[in-house]
């Protein structure tokens, strides 16, 4: 049965048909569309809205299509979309009674429902990928609780920390990415079916029944909203973009840390490439591509929001153009997670170089100021001034951090405040030692091995809890 044969005289031009067809990216909702038609037809039968024998024939044809797969469909662009292709298939099997399937249903509620069904599955695939990624990083963190590195602010040496502490920064942001995605899931898990074109239908359909049959958590309360809204897609893509942005940030660090200048990490050969002209090159291409792919996701989010922002209620064909961007976001996020998990777990830390950097540029100065506060009962701001001046003097006179002693510090204190501090040399040494700095940061979220261990255990517990959820 040709959809156009009633109202429209003649065919759409082939250019217009290809231009408006969604078949290419509808392939992804093929299974969901069959599932939906089965649920809807079952409900129509149960509610005695359509004759039982017709319903049975429709259901048999749909089941047959499910077995045969998408190849059984005619996917010519003139068919418009997957919903018509499925209907045409059923018609080809059982004749015009196939048309009963479309009672109280529109492609508008159908596509919204299909997209939600598929996206639910995708989010449930991505969730465990994130958990897995966190788990791998926790294993790594466990081995690096005393691997000293220097931490940066403004990309300038700031304070010493450990590689484990830094990895835990990654895992904590990924934990929120996971939670955001699972939270978005709740709003994907709502059923638009039964809204039909926009105002529901005068047939006594049972929306609760199709909600149960399709495994949705709830029914969408307003039919106009149900066919108009794609915020579930925008929100999911935002959560994926945030994840991608976090992954990109990690990659940026891998790129920097693997440079000759930093020399802190080594990226495995499996994740590196070389140059076609410079024989010495080992390039971090995988990390770079991840960094760029995050831009693709952000672009998809902008596209989706821009399509949404000014279309009037309710259904507009513009909505169709969101679909490929949704799938592209999902696919990119998945591939980024998988590749990064592999790349990050094969990273080697150059411990000597990292420790060298941590102690060579006064990254422990904060601790020395803290000691002045504790030992001399001095306001922190005063201590900050003394140590700051001491660092400048040391740099000017090319005195290395190992050679800082009580005498050197007192010269500065006397110059600034006419008063020596007379701090113990051993105490100064301890304050300026990166490992001692790290060990002293025992508060929640700190860099000490014990704090790190607690954080690892908490995250492991989180993963265990989440993994048992359905
Ligand atoms: N292919 C369409 C989409 O993806 C399905 C809904 C079409 N509805 C319509 N009235 N033309 O949005």
From 199, 135, 184, 202, select the one nearest 329 (Cα to Cα).
Answer: 184
State whether 86 and 33 are in the same domain.
yes
**Together in a domain, 54 and 73:** yes
Under a CB-based contact definition with an 8 Å cutoff, are residues 220 and 188 in contact? Answer: no
DSSP 8-state code for residue 50: S
Domain CATH for 180: 1.20.200.10
Verify that 118 and 234 share a domain, yes or no. yes
Q: Whose CA is nearest to atom 2 of ligand 1?
A: 320
405 alpha carbon – ligand 1 mean position (Å): 76
Whether residue 444 is contained in a domain is answered as no
- Give the pLDDT of residue 7: 78
**Pair 226, 280 in one domain:** yes
Note whether 176 and 226 are same-domain residues: yes
Q: What is the DSSP letter of 41?
A: H
Give the three-state DSSP class for 138: helix
- Residue 135 Cβ inside 6 Å of ligand 1? The answer reads no
What was the pLDDT predicted at 10?
Answer: 83
Structure tokens at 180: 């955001």
- DSSP3 helix / strand / coil % (the chain, rounded to 5): 70, 5, 25
Ligand 1 pocket member 304 (CB < 6 A): no
According to DSSP, the β-strands at 218-219 and 265-266 are unpaired
Give CA–CA dist 129/319, Å, rounded: 29
Does ligand 1 have an atom closer than 6 angstroms to the CB of 228? no
158's enclosing H/E stretch is strand 156-162
Give residue 217 CA to ligand 1 midpoint distance, Å.
24
- Which residues make beta-bridge pairs with 152? 157
- From the CB of 21, is ligand 1 less than 6 Å away? no
Q: Quote the domain boundaries for residue 271.
A: 114-205+218-355
What are 265's strand-pairing partners? 349
Residues 37 and 174 in one domain: no
Domain count, the chain: 3
CATH number of the domain where residue 384 is located = 1.10.40
Report the chain's C-alpha Rg in angstroms.
31
Q: Is 320 in the pocket of ligand 1 (CB under 6 A)?
A: yes
**Beta strand 148-153 with 265-266: parallel, antiparallel or unpaired?**
unpaired
Choosing from 78, 103, 128, the residue where a domain stops is 103
293 with 407, same domain: the answer is no
Secondary structure string (H, E, C) spanning 258-282: CCCCCCCEECCHHHCECCCCCCCCC
- Are 379 and 331 part of one and the same domain? no
Residues 154 and 180 in one domain: yes
Would you say residue 312 lies in a domain? yes
Give the pairing type, strands 190-191 and 218-219. Answer: parallel
Q: Which residues of the chain have pLDDT under 50?
A: none
Residue 211 placed within a domain:
no
Q: Find residue 266's DSSP bridge partners.
A: 348
Q: Assess whether 177 and 326 both reside in one domain.
A: yes
Domain boundary among the residues 325, 355, 385 is at 355
Structure tokens at 76: 């010519």
Spacing, Cα 48 to ligand 1 middle (Å): 28
Q: Is residue 233 part of a domain?
A: yes
Q: Are residues 90 and 197 in the same domain?
A: no
Judgement on whether residues 351 and 369 belong to the same structural domain of the protein = no
pTM above 0.75, yes or no: yes
**How many Å lie between the centroid of ligand 1 and the Cα of residue 317?**
6
**Angstrom distance (rounded) from CA 404 to CA 387:** 11
Q: State pLDDT tens for residues 298-340.
A: 999 999 999 999 999 999 999 999 999 999 999 999 999 999 9
Domain boundary among 103, 137, 169: 103
């Amino acid at each position: 049965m040709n959809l156009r044969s009633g109202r429209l005289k003649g065919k759409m031009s082939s250019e217009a048909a290809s231009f408006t067809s969604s078949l290419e990216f509808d392939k992804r909702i093929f299974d969901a569309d069959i599932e939906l038609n089965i649920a809807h037809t079952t409900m129509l039968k149960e509610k005695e809205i359509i004759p039982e024998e017709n319903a049975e024939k429709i259901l048999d044809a749909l089941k047959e299509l499910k077995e045969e797969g998408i190849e059984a469909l005619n996917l010519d662009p003139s068919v418009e979309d997957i919903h018509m292709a499925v209907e045409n298939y059923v018609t080809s099997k059982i004749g015009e009674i196939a048309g009963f399937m479309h009672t109280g249903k529109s492609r508008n509620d159908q596509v919204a429902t299909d997209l939600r069904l598929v996206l639910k599955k995708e989010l449930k695939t991505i969730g465990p990928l994130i958990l897995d990624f966190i788990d791998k990083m926790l294993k790594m963190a466990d081995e690096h609780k005393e691997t000293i590195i220097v931490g940066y602010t403004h990309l300038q040496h700031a304070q010493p920390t450990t590689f484990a502490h830094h990895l835990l920064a990654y895992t904590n942001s990924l934990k929120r990415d996971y939670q955001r995605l699972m939270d978005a899931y709740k709003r994907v898990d709502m059923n638009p079916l039964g809204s039909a074109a926009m105002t529901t239908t005068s047939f006594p359909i049972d929306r609760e029944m199709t909600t149960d049959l399709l495994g949705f958590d709830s029914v969408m309360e307003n039919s106009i909203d149900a066919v108009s809204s794609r915020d579930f897609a925008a929100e999911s893509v935002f959560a994926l973009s945030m994840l991608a942005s976090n992954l990109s940030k990690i990659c940026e660090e891998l790129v920097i840390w693997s440079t000759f200048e930093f020399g802190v990490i080594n990226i495995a050969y499996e994740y590196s490439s070389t140059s076609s002209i410079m024989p010495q090159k080992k390039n971090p291409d995988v990390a770079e591509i991840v960094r760029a792919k995050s831009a693709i996701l952000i672009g998809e989010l902008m596209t989706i929001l821009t399509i949404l922002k000014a279309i009037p209620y309710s259904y507009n064909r513009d909505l169709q153009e969101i679909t490929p961007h949704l799938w592209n976001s999902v696919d990119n996020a998945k591939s980024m997670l998988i590749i990064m998990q592999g790349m990050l777990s094969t990273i080697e830390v150059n411990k000597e170089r990292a420790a060298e950097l941590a102690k060579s540029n006064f990254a422990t100065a904060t601790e020395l100021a803290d000691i002045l506060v504790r030992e001399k009962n001095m306001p922190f701001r005063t201590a900050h001034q003394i140590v700051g001046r001491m660092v400048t003097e040391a740099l000017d006179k090319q005195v290395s951090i190992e050679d800082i002693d009580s005498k050197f510090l007192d010269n500065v204190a006397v110059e600034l405040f006419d008063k020596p501090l007379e701090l113990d040399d051993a105490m100064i040494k301890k304050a300026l030692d990166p490992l001692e700095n790290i060990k002293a940061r025992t508060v929640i979220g700190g860099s000490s091995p014990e704090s790190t261990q607690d954080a690892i255990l908490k995250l492991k517990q989180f993963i265990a809890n989440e993994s048992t959820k359905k």
